[in-house]
């Protein structure tokens, strides 16, 4: 097995060597001046494509500045030679330096922009360059440009034949490719790809993203500058027309053609497209059309490039050999790598055992002080206080949990600790250092690592590379070391491979190191994220819902791993909804509710705390219980057709199965409530019924019609209206306009006035604020508006998602009272609610979901006293 890896890499090297030999050899075999001329142009495009790949393909920054940098290199070199008689080689290098310098000056502010702002600003650079060149006539020659430019002289040899030009260009191309590709296979490339996927995740691993972006920008400008200089010397003239917008676009198409993943692909893309365009040089007006159409087609059908696009085919495999190196590691290549890493007599500190404890001790200030102190922290989002004066501390070596209902502020608090979110009040102290003034990368460098609730994995990198990004804060090599493979860089790389494999071993994924991270099942991706955080050898590990979306056996495995991580000396702070998991492994549990810390203590204490029970289950606010009206349900036997029937419904978010075979029915006139803890699949269920999500199996039948695949808007038109979770109003529209949009589902809209009057009668406060924008309403009013908006569609079935969330008790009562009266008037209601007591009091029938299954179901009155319902929320005591 281990031979296969070396073999693969050797074949990769061989193919690259073959490519180089063909490039060097064919002019000797077939000395066509035309061919060499085209290839010299292709070589210049290859250089531009490499710079584009660095900035767009790898770092994900949509810059079109390369035509300007190409031009700056060309003009600077030409001017130095023509006007100041500078030796041509020096002028060439000076041109590249000039491009890089300009990039350095404009880079920092421009790279703060994103996407189309960045695209526009960099197109602007090209435009400004052209204008300046045309206007500064005394210096640049204006429209006429500079000519003649003497040819390049290398060691006294004039580069003035097609053959010599060809060789000079391609030697430069090969050197640049080899250098850059090596850098991309190591720390430089990992940092760039990481920040391209997620700047947030990269910065929480200690990657100073702004610096790396600037590095890519400056280096790529330098390469453009070299290409520009070579262009000037090869053609003997520079004019403004040579550096137009098409010079900025063509390399992008070449990169798309070759695939952004490797530079070699881009070089091939440049050669192919240059030849194609030259073939049409007789019909010049068509050449632009050809590359433009090619660009659109490539984006439409092969967004990952031809090289990746036909990966399964023979061509793809052939090109895969070309890639070689770390990114192309297949599973088979890993043992070879591992032995390579193990060869360095264990320089890397081991993550299991005592060494790591020594390591953390050396960083510690005072052993008796808590590792993390959160003091009086508040966070505001607009008018909403998401975290309210929370103070807590975490002792070194413990597993501490943070739990609470949805929207309690847990993730927000995490973001404050890892400094992705600035608190409105209070402070965070880690290991004796206040973090207020630090960037999130600096906090990470202190030893705080984290995972994310919504995975932020670097899906375009291998598992090993992902975890190696975790090693970033312990590494020092940058572009030069990575590109040249200096001995220090090689030692460091071996160390971080060893460290990364160690972290992978700790989560049990060492066998998957060479696979693309995106190809792993969801549960394993979670573990990759944990390993990535571990590889940074943190003192504190923040785990945000690590068990979300995992199945039972994966959960058990995860618990075991978290315990091992603690035993390895890492302090763990955990946000998790799986209460059994939390109670099982935590030393201490903190409970947040509406941003307030309502309990803190050992698991057993917290479980029996009345405040916690209330936060999770709610208190009964309505004493009159609806009599168990099983009448409707018993009509079942009479063959009455249910209004809605959900049959064996399963829904997935990518690899996460959120609903697993749920069945139930709703009869006309009923109120049915769906209960369950966070993450049980309640919202998913409603969204699947309303067509926002598509199930992987099962059916939704409404009034006898299968609506499983019907478009969302059409489902609404049938009378199924939804009050979505979190209201989802249109904040810039007025209250009344929100209501008016609610009628979009109706065929006849002539009598809107009546419906408006009905809603305003139901919620008089909305009538008072009809001209206000929806965004300016309070939470309770927004909820009323959301219900009103749904009612405007004249629903026959109202889907309600957490109508009580985030509202004061009095308002909740008002809203439930309204719902009850609507139900009495014949409106059928299917409601998701976390406040179980309240919901059961008004419902006829209830279903309790647990991790996507319908765990309990029955008449609401019976479930009110059912111990199983409580267990679904708070775990078994």
Partner 1 sequence: MSPSQWIQLLFSGLTSGAIYGLIGLGYVTIYRTSRVVNFAQGSFVMLGALIAFSLLNEAHLPYWAAGLGSVLAVMLISMVMYRVVIAPIIKVSLIAMILGTIGVSLVLENLALIRWGGYGQSLPAFTSGSFDIAGVILPKQSLWIISLTALILVGLYLLANRTFLGKQMTATASNPIAAETCGVYTNRMVLVAFAISAAIAAFSGIAISSINPVSYLSGGVFGLTGFVAAILGGWGSSTGAVVGGLTLGLVEAVAIGLLPAGYKGAVAFILLLLILYLRPSGILGRSAAEGES
Percent composition of the chain: helix, strand, coil (DSSP 3-state, to 5): 55, 15, 30
Q: What is the greatest pairwise CA distance in the chain?
A: 102
Considering beta carbons, is residue 487 or 750 the nearer one to partner 1? 750
Considering beta carbons, is residue 118 or 841 the nearer one to partner 1? 118
**345 dihedral zone (left: phi>0; alpha: psi -120 to 50; beta):** left
Dihedral over Cα of 429, 433, 437, 438: its sign: negative
Considering beta carbons, is residue 256 or 559 the nearer one to partner 1? 256
In the numeric block, which tokens belong to residue 712? 């969302």
Q: Is the peptide bond between 148 and the residue preceding it cis, with omega within 30 degrees of 0?
A: yes
Residues facing residue 720 across a β-bridge: 797
How distant, in Å, are the alpha carbons of 207, 440, 451 from that of 199?
9, 11, 14
In 372-489, DSSP assigns E strands to 372-381, 384-394, 399-403, 425-430, 433-434, 448-450
Distance between terminal CA atoms of the chain? 50
DSSP string, 229-267: HHHHHHHS-B-GGGGSHHHHHHHHHHHHHH-SS-HHHHH
DSSP string, 626-667: PP--THHHHGGGGTPPPSEEEEEEEEEETTEEEEEEEEEEE-
In the numeric block, which tokens belong to residue 555? 């959960």
Torsion on CA atoms 685, 687, 691, 696, rounded to nearest 10: -50
Considering beta carbons, is residue 330 or 743 the nearer one to partner 1? 743
The β-bridge relationship of strands 399-403 and 588-593 is parallel
Considering beta carbons, is residue 589 or 649 the nearer one to partner 1? 649
Considering beta carbons, is residue 77 or 252 the nearer one to partner 1? 252
Torsion on CA atoms 621, 624, 626, 627, rounded to nearest 10: 150
Considering beta carbons, is residue 123 or 860 the nearer one to partner 1? 123
Considering beta carbons, is residue 93 or 721 the nearer one to partner 1? 721
H, E, C per residue of 162-231: HHHHHHHHHHHHHHHHHHHHHHHHCHHHHHHHHHHHCHHHHHHCCCCHHHHHHHHHHHHHHHHHHHHHHH
- CA separation for the pair 103, 100 (Å, rounded): 5
Contact 67, 103 (CB under 8 A): no
In the numeric block, which tokens belong to residue 338? 């591992």
Report, in Å, the least distance between residue 133 CB and partner 1: 10
Considering beta carbons, is residue 724 or 852 the nearer one to partner 1? 724
Report, in Å, the least distance between residue 245 CB and partner 1: 6
Report, in Å, the least distance between residue 279 CB and partner 1: 16
Nearest CA to 612 out of 864, 407, 405, 863 is that of 405
- CA separation for the pair 230, 236 (Å, rounded): 10
Considering beta carbons, is residue 252 or 471 the nearer one to partner 1? 252
Report, in Å, the least distance between residue 737 CB and partner 1: 5
CA angle 717, 721, 725 (to 5 degrees): 140
Report, in Å, the least distance between residue 135 CB and partner 1: 5
Considering beta carbons, is residue 195 or 649 the nearer one to partner 1? 195
In the numeric block, which tokens belong to residue 453? 């609730």
Considering beta carbons, is residue 326 or 786 the nearer one to partner 1? 786
Report, in Å, the least distance between residue 291 CB and partner 1: 7
Nearest CA to 673 out of 612, 626, 619 is that of 626
Chain CA centroid to CA 57, Å: 16
- CA separation for the pair 234, 39 (Å, rounded): 12
Question: Each residue of 93-115: b (16+ CB within 10 Å) or e?
Answer: bbbbbbbbbbbeebbeebbebee
Count of beta carbons in the 10 Å neighbourhood of residue 865: 9
Considering beta carbons, is residue 33 or 135 the nearer one to partner 1? 135
Number of H helices, E strands in the chain: 38, 22
Considering beta carbons, is residue 674 or 774 the nearer one to partner 1? 774
Chain CA centroid to CA 136, Å: 45
Report, in Å, the least distance between residue 725 CB and partner 1: 10
- CA separation for the pair 569, 582 (Å, rounded): 19
Place of tokens 């030893």: 447
Considering beta carbons, is residue 287 or 650 the nearer one to partner 1? 287
Considering beta carbons, is residue 372 or 548 the nearer one to partner 1? 548
- CA separation for the pair 106, 327 (Å, rounded): 32
Report, in Å, the least distance between residue 718 CB and partner 1: 10
Instruction: Specify the DSSP element, H or E, that contains 426.
Output: strand 425-430
Considering beta carbons, is residue 56 or 337 the nearer one to partner 1? 56
């Amino acid at each position: 097995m281990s031979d296969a890896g070396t073999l693969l890499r050797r074949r990769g090297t061989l193919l690259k060597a073959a490519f180089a030999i063909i490039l060097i050899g064919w002019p000797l075999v077939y000395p066509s001046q035309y061919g060499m001329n085209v290839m010299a142009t292709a070589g210049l495009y290859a250089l531009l494509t490499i710079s584009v790949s660095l900035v767009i393909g790898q770092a994900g920054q949509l810059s079109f500045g390369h035509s300007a940098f190409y031009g700056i290199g060309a003009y600077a070199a030409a001017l130095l030679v023509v006007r100041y008689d500078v030796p041509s080689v020096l002028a060439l290098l000076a041109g590249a330096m000039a491009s890089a310098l300009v990039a350095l000056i404009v880079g920092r502010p421009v790279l703060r922009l994103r996407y189309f702002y960045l695209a526009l600003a960099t197109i602007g650079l090209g435009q400004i360059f052209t204008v300046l060149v045309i206007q500064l006539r005394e210096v640049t020659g204006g429209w006429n440009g500079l000519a003649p430019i003497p040819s390049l002289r290398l060691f006294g040899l004039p580069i003035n034949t097609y053959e010599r030009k060809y060789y000079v260009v391609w030697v430069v191309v090969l050197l640049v490719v080899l250098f850059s590709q090596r850098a991309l296979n190591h720390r430089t490339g990992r940092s760039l790809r990481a920040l391209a996927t997620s700047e947030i995740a990269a910065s929480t691993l200690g990657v100073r993203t702004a610096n790396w972006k600037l590095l890519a920008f400056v280096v790529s400008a330098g390469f453009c500058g070299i290409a520009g200089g070579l262009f000037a010397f090869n053609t003997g003239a520079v004019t403004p027309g040579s550096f137009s917008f098409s010079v900025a676009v063509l390399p992008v198409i070449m990169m798309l053609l070759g695939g952004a993943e490797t530079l070699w692909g881009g070089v091939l893309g440049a050669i192919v497209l240059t030849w194609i365009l030259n073939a049409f040089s007789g019909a010049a007006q068509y050449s632009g059309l050809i590359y433009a159409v090619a660009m659109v087609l490539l984006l439409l059908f092969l967004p990952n490039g031809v090289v990746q696009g036909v990966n399964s085919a023979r061509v793809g495999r052939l090109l895969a050999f070309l890639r070689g190196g770390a990114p192309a590691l297949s599973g088979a290549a890993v043992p070879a790598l591992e032995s390579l890493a193990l060869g360095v007599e264990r320089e890397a500190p081991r993550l299991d055992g005592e060494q790591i404890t020594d390591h953390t001790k050396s960083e510690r200030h005072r052993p008796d002080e808590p590792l993390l102190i959160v003091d009086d922290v508040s966070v505001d989002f607009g008018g909403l206080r998401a975290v309210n004066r929370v103070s807590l501390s975490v002792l070194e070596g413990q597993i501490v949990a943070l739990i609470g209902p949805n929207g309690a502020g847990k993730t927000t608090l995490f973001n404050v600790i890892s400094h992705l979110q600035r608190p409105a009040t209070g402070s965070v102290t880690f290991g004796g250092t206040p973090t207020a003034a630090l960037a999130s990368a600096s906090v990470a460098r202190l030893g705080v690592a984290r995972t994310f609730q919504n995975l932020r994995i670097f899906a375009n990198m291998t598992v090993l590379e992902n975890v190696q990004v975790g090693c970033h804060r312990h590494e020092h090599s940058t572009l030069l070391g990575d590109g040249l493979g200096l001995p220090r860089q090689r030692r460091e790389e071996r160390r971080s491979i060893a460290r990364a494999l160690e972290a992978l071993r700790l989560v049990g994924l060492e066998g998957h190191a060479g696979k693309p991270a995106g190809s792993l099942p969801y549960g394993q991706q979670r573990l990759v994220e944990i390993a990535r955080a571990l590889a940074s050898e943190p003192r504190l590990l923040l785990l945000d819902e690590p068990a979300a979306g995992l199945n039972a056996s994966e959960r058990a495995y995860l618990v075991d791993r978290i315990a091992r991580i603690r035993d390895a000396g890492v302090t763990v702070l955990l946000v998790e909804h799986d209460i059994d998991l939390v109670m099982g492994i935590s030393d201490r549990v903190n409970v947040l509710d509406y941003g307030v810390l309502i309990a803190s203590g050992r698991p057993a204490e917290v479980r029996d705390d009345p405040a916690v029970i209330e936060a999770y289950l709610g208190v009964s606010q309505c004493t009159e219980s609806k009599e168990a009206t099983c009448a409707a349900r018993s009509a079942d036997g009479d063959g009455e057709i249910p209004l809605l029937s959900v049959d064996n419904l399963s829904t997935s978010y990518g690899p996460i199965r959120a609903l697993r075979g749920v069945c139930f029915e709703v009869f006309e006139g009923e109120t049915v409530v769906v209960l369950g803890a966070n993450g049980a699949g309640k919202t998913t269920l409603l969204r699947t019924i309303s067509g926002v999500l598509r199930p992987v199996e099962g059916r939704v039948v409404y009034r006898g019609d299968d609506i499983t695949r019907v478009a969302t808007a059409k489902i609404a038109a049938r009378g199924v209206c939804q009050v979505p979770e979190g209201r989802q109003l249109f904040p810039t529209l007025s209250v009344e306009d929100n209501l008016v949009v609610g009628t979009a589902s109706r065929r006849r809209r002539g009598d809107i006035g009546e419906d408006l009057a009905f809603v305003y009668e139901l919620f008089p406060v909305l009538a008072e604020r009809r001209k206000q924008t929806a965004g300016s309403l309070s939470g309770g009013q927004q909820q009323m508006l959301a219900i009103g908006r749904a009612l405007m569609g004249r629903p026959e079935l109202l889907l309600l998602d957490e109508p009580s969330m985030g509202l004061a008790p009095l308002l909740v009562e008002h809203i439930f009272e309204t719902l009850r009266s609507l139900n009495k008037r014949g409106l059928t209601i299917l409601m998701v609610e976390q406040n179980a007591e309240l919901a059961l009091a008004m419902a006829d029938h209830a279903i309790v979901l647990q991790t996507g299954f319908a765990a309990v179901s029955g008449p609401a009155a019976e479930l009110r006293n059912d111990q199983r319902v409580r267990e679904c929320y708070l775990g078994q005591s």
